Chains A and B, each alone.
Chain A
Amino acid sequence: GAVVSQHPSRVICKSGTSVKIECRSLDFQATTMFWYRQFPKQSLMLMATSNEGSKATYEQGVEKDKFLINHASLTLSTLTVTSAHPEDSSFYICSAKGRSPEGYTFGSGTRLTVV
């Protein structure tokens, strides 16, 4: 089945630095990927839709200059959290749609802690 690999699984960074999270579709090509953020004991909140070869579409209230998304190939989308602050600490999850009828496949998530 479709596999989505997300890296790193955990990252701790200092306040003010930038962090890049990678999302790869391992056995299929994904023209569209999605990025979610999840705070403790809350549901997944869609941040943006990542489109290969074009600009990402951000959900209302998500700062596009803070959460930079690059989808330069059919198998890789990256999310860069710029000038991270403690309030950006969260669980970030990506997803992509393969050819199977099972809907979207999700990555295993990245736990970001900003200190």
Chain B
Amino acid sequence: EPEVTQTPSHQVTQMGQEVILRCVPISNHLYFYWYRQILGQKVEFLVSFYNNEISEKSEIFDDQFSVERPDGSNFTLKIRSTKLEDSAMYFCASSGTGEQPQHFGDGTRLSIL
């Protein structure tokens, strides 16, 4: 069964450094998403992306965050200057349409030191 893949599985970064999290969505999906989950808490929406532009973003997704689909298969989340509170699991998801269920990758654990 096709799946969403994310790399790396764990990223350790110094505070203030830039980090790029990578995702390969399911190949025929058109809608892409990033969510984050702080340890022990619920999953929170960050951003949705369709047709090469952001369709919605949450208040968490401030100017330090950006997303890009640099080619036909990858979808990336960049955090420009990381803060301690950015430490979390970051999940990529994709769906065929905006109404179809979203399928999640196994996440990248981001640890900011």
Do A and B pair up? The answer is no
